[in-house]
Amino acid sequence: MLRTAGVVLWKDLKIELRTRDAVSAALVFAILVLVVFNFALGGNTPELRRLGSGFFWVAFAFSGTLALNRSSQLEKESGAGRALALAPIDPAGVYLGKFLANAAVLVATQIAVLPAFVIFFDVPLEVGRLGWLAASFVLGAIGFAGPGTLFSAVAANTRMRELMLPLLFIPVSVPALIAAVETTSFALGDPGSASFWFKLLIVYDVVIVTASLLVFEYALEE
Amino acid sequence: MTSVTALACEGLTKRFGRVAALRSVRLSVTTGECVTVFGRNGAGKSTFLQIAGSLIRSYEGHVRIFDQDLRHADVATRRAVGFVLHDTCLYNDLSVEDNLRFFARLYGVDNADARARDMLARVDLAHRASSVTRELSRGMKQRLSIARAMIHAPRVLLLDEPFTGLDEISSQSLATMLADFARDGGTVVMSTHDVERAYPVATRAVILERGSVTYDRPTAGTDLADFRRAYWNVLFAGAPTESAAPAGREH
């Protein structure tokens, strides 16, 4: 399984590094969403800073969906996914490879969006809480990519796959998104503790990735 | 070299809703054979190959690869099959060499990089190794697709319309490659409606008509003109000889 995962991960990252399709589309879209929110609420207000992490994750959810759609499109184009289905390999390895590639693309998008977010929302970045910010980004991306990779394989076999994907997987990702918003808020200076949300995010990630690994085989069947 | 049964189907029936794509097909292919399945569009050729290649898993009847039922085939048996599908099944944004490297690693081929380079040379694409696959012509992609299917040295090669998009030189080169593969003990089963190109390569010709085998003979002893006549009879009269045509189906 790990060998298959490594090969699929290598292939997806190689394609992304060559084309930069997923990251660039997600980045542009996320920045546009942040600009719209910034103008809607008026710049440099305490309200804007307080709600900033929520807007960040809303922008991420929209733009991340684009990246996941691109990932499933790779397998549909020219029937390449069928050649993958011919190989006597563990489908869980395919899931793991695609999930890791998707999570890497999503984290790269978050890092690229961060400067624009800091400027538009005037949020403080405290050195002491950067670890929390990094953890919320990585765990949030895992919580998003986990079901996203599974459902993008399901949606790929449907007639309106671009429409079906967010309808299928965003409801499942809501716990991860809420926990990520709360953890990011703490990382950006909110008083209180993020301990509960952080633990929830870890538990959610473990459960959703494990469950997706187990059922991915059925998602590949046409 | 002793011939063994590489692919055997018995009572193979496949329905898509009310439409029967295959009707109780019985076919046995031994190692060293190059069997070409002819038939019009919708005759069931691709469905037959997709079942043999494990892409379609719900069907009636039995399919065996090297005496192992395909429904319970182990990794070694599935690894014995290479499949050139109608789509090229390549990643357009990977380079030509990376596509082969990817599939070689996926199949656990030893020394995947060297094997990829070797296959590129065999399909005359070594000079385009670093090109992005998207930039290749349809014929080049088809040759790359054939290299992909053969990257793990399969014992049975299934090809769905392999001559699509190939020019005369590439077609000749493919025919030689398939003949060499069969001579070395491999088994080739391909589907096509291109009689002129495929019949000379085949050691046995099968015609599928409306999901049933209506003709199954070795090519030795039947020249191209005679086969073409039989094929046209099947297409227009439903049977290889006019006397065997069902009543009311003659044109």
A88/B contact by beta carbon, under 8 A: yes
Contact B144, B166 (CB under 8 A): no
Pairing of strands B156-160, B81-84: parallel
pTM here is 0.85
Q: What is the CATH number of domain B1-80+155-251?
A: 3.40.50.300
- Nearest-CB residue to A87 (from B90, B106, B132): B106
Helix/strand/coil (H/E/C) assignment for every residue in A29-68: HHHHHHHHHHHHHCCCCHHHHHHHHHHHHHHHHHHHHHHH
C-alpha separations of B237 from B42, B44, B122, B196 in Å? 16, 18, 42, 21
What are the strands of the beta sheet with B212-218, ordered from one edge?
B81-84, B156-160, B187-192, B34-38, B204-209, B212-218
How far from chain centre, in Å, is Cα B11?
20
Most confident by average pLDDT, A3-7, B54-58, B179-183: A3-7
Q: Which residue has the tokens 């069907």?
A: B59
Contact A72, A94 (CB under 8 A): no
Per CB-CB distance under 8 Å, the chain A contacts of B78 are: 86-88
* Confidence (pLDDT) at B2: 74
Give pLDDT tens digits for B37-94.
998 888 899 999 999 988 888 899 999 999 899 888 888 888 899 999 988 899 999 9
Residue from B63, B59, B24 nearest B189 by CA: B63
pLDDT at A204 over 90: yes
How close is the nearest chain A Cα to the Cα of B209, in Å? 26
b/e per residue A42-75 (b: at least 16 CB within 10 A):
eeeeeebbebbbbbbbbbbbbbbbbbbbbbbbbb
Residue type, A123: V
pLDDT band at A10 (very low <50, low <70, confident <90, very high): very high
Give pLDDT tens digits for A67-78.
888 888 888 887
Cβ separation B81–A86 shorter than 8 A = yes
Interface with A, mutate which of B55, B65, B93, B146 (most A CBs under 10 A): B93
- Token couple for A9: 């991960």
Cβ separation A78–B90 shorter than 8 A = yes
Contact A179, A193 (CB under 8 A): no
* Confidence (pLDDT) at A76: 83
The values of phi and psi at residue B222, to 5°, are -125, 115
Residue from A149, A178, A180 nearest A165 by CA: A149
- Domain ranges in chain A are 2-220
pLDDT band at B251 (very low <50, low <70, confident <90, very high): very low
Interface with A, mutate which of B84, B97, B105, B106 (most A CBs under 10 A): B106
Interface with B, mutate which of A2, A10, A11 (most B CBs under 10 A): A11
pLDDT at A221 over 70: no
Residue from B29, B39, B33, B28 nearest B234 by CA: B39
- Nearest-CA residue of chain A relative to B107? A87
- Token couple for A217: 């085989």
Contact A105, A71 (CB under 8 A): yes
How would DSSP label each residue in B77-113?
Answer: HHHTEEEE-SS----TTSBHHHHHHHHHHHTT-TTHH
pLDDT band at B242 (very low <50, low <70, confident <90, very high): low
Pairing of strands B81-84, B68-69: unpaired
Pairing of strands B156-160, B19-30: unpaired
Per CB-CB distance under 8 Å, the chain B contacts of A4 are: 106
- Cα–Cα distance between B88 and B138 in angstroms, integer? 9
> Which residue ranges does chain B devote to CATH 3.40.50.300?
1-80+155-251
- Token couple for B42: 């919708």
How far from chain centre, in Å, is Cα A131?
19
* Confidence (pLDDT) at A146: 93
Pairing of strands B187-192, B156-160: parallel
Q: To 10 degrees, what angle do helices A2-19 and B96-106 make?
A: 170
Size of interface A-B (CB pairs under 8 A): 68
* Confidence (pLDDT) at B244: 46
pLDDT band at B189 (very low <50, low <70, confident <90, very high): very high
Per CB-CB distance under 8 Å, the chain B contacts of A84 are: 106
- Cα–Cα distance between A18 and B95 in angstroms, integer? 10
- Nearby residues of A97 by Cβ (< 8 Å), 6 or more positions away: A4, A5, A6, A7, A8, A9, A11, A12
* Confidence (pLDDT) at B235: 82
